[in-house]
Copies of this chain bind each other. A is one copy, B any other.
Amino acid sequence: MQNIITLAHGSGGSATLKLIDQVFKKHFNNDILSQGDDCAKLSITNSNNLVFTTDSFVVTPIFFNGGNIGKLAVCGTVNDLSTSGATPLYLSCGFIIEEGFSIEELEKIVEAMSITARECGVQIVTGDTKVVQKGAADKIFINTSGIGIVPDGICISGKNAQVGDKIIISGTIGDHGCSILLERENMGFQAEIKSDCAPLSGLVHDMLEVTSDIHVLRDPTRGGVATTLNEIAFQSNVSIVIEEDKLPIKREVQGVCELLGMDPIYLANEGKLLSFVPAEKVEAVLNVMRKNKYGRDAQIIGEVSKAGEPKVLLKALSGGARIIGLLAGDQLPRIC
């Protein structure tokens, strides 16, 4: 096979079929995908509680410390399914590739997708490849859409936050945003910061084994913890109070943020979740989270304080408190 992507690979003709066989089917191999029809016939039986989600990924650079755009594309959609309480089952993938892109790099990306999918027990069952002329896209964009099933008795939504709920973050914040920032800019200093890019389906599974009584789960990606908490505050019409000194932040991330005047609470995470849990269940949930490799640094960071006044308050160690809003503007485009 040629070693770069050509327009013919997007023609739907013989070059497309060859690429599908030699790259996609090789790594994503499963019975449903190999049927070769335009649609995947799923084997879901008794599926009353289906959920469906989609995400496109345009991150730059496409390879970064801790992952690449392929791993991110699987994690992002798996995490959206998982934080609705669902067991992720099936993914689609749509590639938009710039003419001239290296097939070797494509294969690395596809391999990462396959490894990550296997880790969370999801199958990539249908796909599509488009190729655009050189200059019409920046290297590669990936869309993943996903289907999962919510087990009976689970009711998780951004609308379900209740006064008294304790709020847990599953680990350190800002790692993904900070790592991309460092990859992208030549900062003139060294800091070993890895993206937290990870699939959270196993962690959510463990939490739901302890109790089905989890009110809200959400992954604080674009816009960070601050933006996600604001969304939940507005969806549930509640006030949220966060204690600044409880936020787990890696020293290196804190250092980079101080240097650049950025706030880690607005930086993207790609392997973290926020969980709203009734106070009487919070210790049990926290314990099980800390036993999972993706929840080791889980921490209670605040609580839902009041109904009827949607806002997020950040209480500083000094005692003062300030309202933190949604991210305005965009300091870091193409973070995911």
Contact = CB atoms under 8 A, between A and B. Distances in A.
Contact of A158 (B14, B37, B47, B83): B37
A51 B41 contact: yes
A188 interface: no
A299 B158 CA distance: 53
Most chain B CB neighbours (cut-off 10 Å) among A46, A54, A96, A329: A54
Interface stretch (A127-135, A287-295, A300-308): A127-135
B56 A51 contact: no
A45 B46 CA distance: 8
Interface in A1-44: 6-8, 10-17, 35-42, 44
Total copies of this chain within the assembly: 2
Q: For the side of the interface on A, what is the size category? A: 35 or more
Interface in A75-93: 80-81, 83-84, 86, 90, 92-93
Contact of A52 (B39, B222, B231): B39
Given A10-B330, A330-B11, A44 B42 contact: no
Interface string A170-190: 000000000000000000000
B7 A54 contact: no
B12 A223 contact: yes
Contact of A45 (B48, B80, B157, B327): B48
B8 A328 contact: yes
B40 A52 contact: yes
Contact of A53 (B12, B84, B92, B130): B92
A41 B49 contact: yes
A326 B222 CA distance: 43
Contacts of A195: none
A235 interface: yes
A47 to B, nearest CB: 5
Interface stretch (A110-118, A142-150, A198-206, A247-255): A142-150
8 contacts: A11-B330, A37-B159, A38-B219, A50-B50, A54-B145, A58-B130, A137-B138, A141-B141
Enumerate the 6 nearest inter-chain pairs by beta-carbon distance, A residue then B residue, closest first: A12-B222, A13-B327, A54-B92, A11-B330, A145-B145, A143-B143
Interface of A: 6-8, 10-17, 35-42, 44-58, 60, 80-81, 83-84, 86, 90, 92-96, 125-128, 130-133, 135-138, 141, 143, 145, 147-148, 150, 157-159, 218-219, 221-223, 227, 231, 235, 268, 325-330, 333-334, 336
